[in-house]
Amino acid sequence: MLVAMSGDEVIRSPDVERKNRVPPGQKITDHWPVLHYGQVPRVDPSQWKLTISGLVKRELRLSYEEFLSLPRVRVLSDVHCVTGWSYLDNLWEGVSTGEIKRLAGLKPEARFVIVHAEGGFTTNLSVEDFFQPDVLFAIKHNGKTLTPEHGYPVRLVVPRLYFWKSAKWVTGVEFTAEDRPGFWETHGYHNRGDPWKEERYSTTAF
Ligand SMILES: Nc1nc2c(c(=O)[nH]1)N[C@H]1C(S)=C(S)[C@@H](COP(=O)(O)O)O[C@H]1N2
Ligand SMILES: [Mo]
C-alpha cells in the first residue's frame, strides 16, 4: 500500500522542547496508564466511519480504508492526565487535523469542535486548539497499532492540553458556532485544560 508521509520528519510538539517538561502538580509515570469512563468498546474497523459534519463546506463520511489512505504525519508529544500522571516521549502516527480541514473546508462561522466517540462520549475544543499543527487522529503509538484500551482504531491526540481532550474511539467531529461542553467538561473538568496553567477543574459550582 502506498502511504503518503512527509518524509521521515517528526513534528515535535512544543512541550518536548521545554527544559522542564513536567507541568506543576504532575509526576512522571514509566508505564502508560489506561483511563476512561465506561467499557472499552470493541470496534469493528469494517463498520467504523469517521463523520465530519456541522459548519463545513463538504460533509465527509470516511471508511477506515479511506481514512488509512490519507496522508500521514508523525508527532512526538508528552501526555499529561489531570489526575496527576505525565507520560513523556510518545511518538504518534496518524492523520493531521489540518488534512481534515483541507478535505472538508470550514465555513467562517465555525468556531468550536465537538469531538464524538463511541458510546456518546464527547469533548469540546476551540478551532484554534483543534488545528494546532501537532494535533492528529492517531492510529499508532510508538510504531504499533493502538490497542483497544488506548483507542483503537482511531483516537484524537491534542498534545498541548490535558489528556481528557484526546478522545479515544473517535467516530466524528462536528464544527459549531457555539461551544458545547463535553463529558468531562460537564463533570467538573475545566473547559480548556492547559496543564501549564493547571486548568484542571471548573470553578463554577455544580
Ligand atoms: N472516549 C473516551 N476517550 C477518553 C476518555 C473517555 O472517558 N472516553 N478519557 C480521557 C482521559 S480522562 C484520559 S486521561 C485519556 C487516557 O487515555 P489512555 O487510556 O490511552 O491513557 O483518555 C481520554 N479519552
Ligand atoms: Mo485523564
- 36 in any annotated domain: no
**The residue to which cell 486548568 is assigned:** 199
In a domain, 205, yes or no: no
From the list 145, 148, 122, the residue with the least C-alpha distance to 44 is 148
In a domain, 55, yes or no: yes
Instruction: Express each pLDDT in 73-129 by its tens digit.
Output: 999 999 999 999 999 999 999 999 999 999 999 999 999 999 999 999 999 999 999
Among 83, 69, 57, 61, which residue's Cα sits nearest to residue 188? Answer: 83
- pTM equals 0.96
Residue 127: CATH number of its domain = 3.90.420.10
**Whether residue 72 has its Cβ less than 6 Å from ligand 1:** no
Query: Across the 206 residues of the chain, what is the mean pLDDT of every consecutive 10-residue run?
Result: 67 98 98 97 98 98 98 98 98 98 98 98 98 98 98 98 98 98 97 98 70
Which residue's alpha carbon is at the smallest distance from atom 16 of ligand 1?
A: 35
Is 138:90 a contact under the CB 8 Å cutoff?
no
Count of domains for the chain = 1
